[in-house]
Amino acid sequence: MKNKIAITGMGAVTPIGIGVSDYWNGLINGVRGIAPITRFDTENLPVQFAGEVKNFEPTDFMPKKLSREMERFMQYGYVAANEALSDAGFNPDDGEISVSPERIGIVVGTAFAGAAAIAETQDELSRGIHSKVSPRFITKIIGNITAAQVAIAKGFRGPSLTVTTACSSGADAVTTGVMLLNSGMADAVVCIGAEAATSPLLIQGLASAHALSTRNDSPETASRPFDLTRDGFVMGEGGGALILETAEHAKKRSVRIHAELIGYANSTDGYHVTSPHPEGIGAVFCMQKAIEQAGITPDMVDYINAHGTSTPKGDVIEVNAIKTLFGEYAYKLAVSSTKGSTGHMMGAGGITEAIACIRALQEGILPPTLNLTEKDPACDLDFVPNAARRKNIQIAMSNAFGFGGQNSSLLFQRSEE
C-alpha cells in the first residue's frame, strides 16, 4: 500500500435502517429486513419477497426537484453519500470545507444501475399506459449519473468514475478510490455503492437462473447463509458510502479516522459467467493478495464479513476458500454474513458490509449470521450464529464476489486516532 488510507466518513441506506447508526443497531440486534414486496404486484412471480428499504421518502433528504431527477438506486446512493460527507466534514451544506473541489473524487459501484426502471418503462409502453418517454429517462438509468448528481449538488470537480463488477461493484468502488488517492489524482474520494434492482423482470431472470430463494411462505428467514437448508439468495437494495483520504491528509484536517484500509485486492476466476470456480481459486488469490498488500499474516485477521449469500454452492466454495488460505487458523476465525438481515444488496453490499466491519472494529461487537439453525457439515466454521458477540478485534476482512467470477477483498484495521 503506497499510502496509509483513512476512512473518515460513512453513510448507509439499508432494509434494516437508514443511517449508519440505525443500520448497525439493526445488525447487532438481529433485525430482519426481508419481507413481502410492497412496490408492485407479485402474484404471478416465483419470488414475492425482498429486502426493500422501508419508510424511505426521498424529499426527507433532498429537494423535490432533485428527487424527480434520480432513479431510486441513485437516491439511495445520494443519501448515503450525504451522510458520509457530513460525517467527514466535507459537506458544503454544513459550511465551508478546506479541500479544493478539484481534489475530491467520486467513485460509484452498481451492478444493475437503472435496469429496473428500463423494464418498468418498456412495460408501460408495451401495455399502452404511456406513449412517450420522459426526457429524464436516460439520465435516470445510466450508472454514472449517481456520481454526477453528487458532484453537481456539492460542487465537486475531481475524478468521477463508475464501476460495474456485478455484486463486487461496491467493494471495487473502494479499490478504485484507493487507486485515485495513490495516483495523486485526489486528496479525498467519495466511494458509493447503490442498488435498487427489485423488479418483476429481474426477479424472473434471477429465478430462472436458480439463484433466488423461493421461500414465499417465510420471507424473514429465507436468507440463511451457511445453513443446511439454504436455497438461494434474497434480493436486497440500498446505498452505502465511505469517504477515503490518505491518513496524512486526514490528520492535517484533524478529522476523526474511523478505521484504516490496509489492504485490498480484485481478481477474476476465469471460469464461468454465474458459478464461482468450484475450488474457489479466485477467492483464495484475492484474499491472499489483500493480506500480502497489508503486510500482515493470515493469523492476524480476526474477523471476516463473508460474501455468504445463502446459495447452496457459493457458501461452501467460500468456506473452502477460507480454509485453503487460513488453514487450521480458519477454525479460530470469526466469520459471519450479514445478508440474513439485509438480503443481498448487490452493488451496495460491498460498502455496507465494509461499514459493518468498521463498526465491529470500533465497538468490539461482531454482527451475527441470522437464520443459521441447521448446521451444514460442509460449512463448519465459527459463523457467529443468530446473536451478536462481544469481541475486541484489530483487523477485519470484507469479501464481495459476483457473477463473471468477480472477487474483491478489503482489509480494515482499527484506528487508534
Q: Which three cell numbers stand for residue 385?
A: 450464529
Q: Which of 167, 191, 286, 357 is catalytic?
A: 167
Q: Which three cell numbers stand for residue 117?
A: 426502471
Please write down the long-range contacts of 246-252, taking CB distance under 8 Å and 24 or more positions apart.
246/3, 246/4, 246/5, 246/6, 246/181, 246/187, 247/3, 247/4, 247/5, 247/6, 248/3, 248/4, 249/6, 249/187, 249/188, 250/6, 250/8, 250/417, 251/417
- For residues 189 and 185, give the distance between their C-alpha atoms in angstroms, rounded to a whole number: 10
- Contact present, 254 and 86 (Cβ < 8 Å): no
- For residues 52 and 58, give the distance between their C-alpha atoms in angstroms, rounded to a whole number: 14
DSSP-derived letter for residue 48 is -
Per-residue pLDDT band for 4 (boundaries 50, 70, 90) equals very high
- For residues 169 and 401, give the distance between their C-alpha atoms in angstroms, rounded to a whole number: 9
Q: What is the pLDDT of residues 111-142, one digit of tens each?
A: 999 999 999 989 889 988 988 999 999 999 99
- Contact present, 407 and 266 (Cβ < 8 Å): yes
- Contact present, 408 and 172 (Cβ < 8 Å): yes
Is pLDDT of 385 > 70?
yes
Is pLDDT of 360 > 80?
yes
Return the number of other C-beta atoms located less than 10 Å from residue 92's C-beta: 13
Give the residue, 112 or 94, on which the prediction is more confident.
Answer: 112
Instruction: Give the H or E element holding residue 287.
Output: helix 281-294
Q: Across residues 6-17, what is the average pLDDT? A: 98
Residues paired with residue 263 on neighbouring β-strands, in sequence order: 411
- Contact present, 373 and 350 (Cβ < 8 Å): no
Return the number of other C-beta atoms located less than 10 Å from residue 256's C-beta: 15
Q: What's at 124, amino acid-wise?
A: E
The pTM (predicted TM-score) of the whole model is 0.96
Q: Which residue has the cell 458477540?
A: 389
Q: Which three cell numbers stand for residue 307?
A: 460474501
- Contact present, 282 and 276 (Cβ < 8 Å): yes
Q: What is the pLDDT of residues 133-191, one digit of tens each?
A: 999 999 999 999 999 999 999 999 999 999 999 999 999 999 999 999 999 999 999 99
- Contact present, 79 and 62 (Cβ < 8 Å): yes
Helix (H/G/I), strand (E/B), else coil: 140: helix
Q: Which of 249, 258, 277, 344 is catalytic?
A: 344
Q: Which residue has the cell 479525498?
A: 188
Q: Which residue has the cell 421518502?
A: 57
Three-class DSSP labels, 49-103 = EEECCCCCCHHHCCCHHHHHCCCHHHHHHHHHHHHHHHHHCCCHHHCCCCCCHHH
CATH numbers and ranges of domains, the chain: 5-252 (3.40.47.10), 263-414 (3.40.47.10)
Q: Which three cell numbers stand for residue 159?
A: 475524478
Sign (positive or negative) of CA dihedral 293, 84, 190, 335: positive
Going by C-beta distance under 8 Å and a sequence separation of 6 or more, which residues neighbour residue 42? Answer: 36, 48, 49, 200
Q: Which residue has the cell 493469523?
A: 299
Is pLDDT of 1 > 70?
no
pLDDT of residue 204: 96
Return the number of other C-beta atoms located less than 10 Å from residue 180's C-beta: 21
pLDDT of residue 3: 81
Is pLDDT of 76 > 80?
yes
Indicate if 167 belongs to the active site: yes
With residues binned 3-state (H G I as helix, E B as strand, rest as coil), the percentages for the chain, rounded to 5, are 40, 20, 40
> In the predicted model, what is the mean pLDDT of the chain?
95
pLDDT of residue 96: 55
Q: Across residues 92-118, what is the average pLDDT? A: 86
Going by C-beta distance under 8 Å and a sequence separation of 6 or more, which residues neighbour residue 321? Answer: 280, 283, 284, 287
Q: What is the pLDDT of residues 212-244, one digit of tens each?
A: 999 999 999 999 999 999 999 999 999 999 999
Q: Which of 258, 286, 307, 357 is catalytic?
A: 307
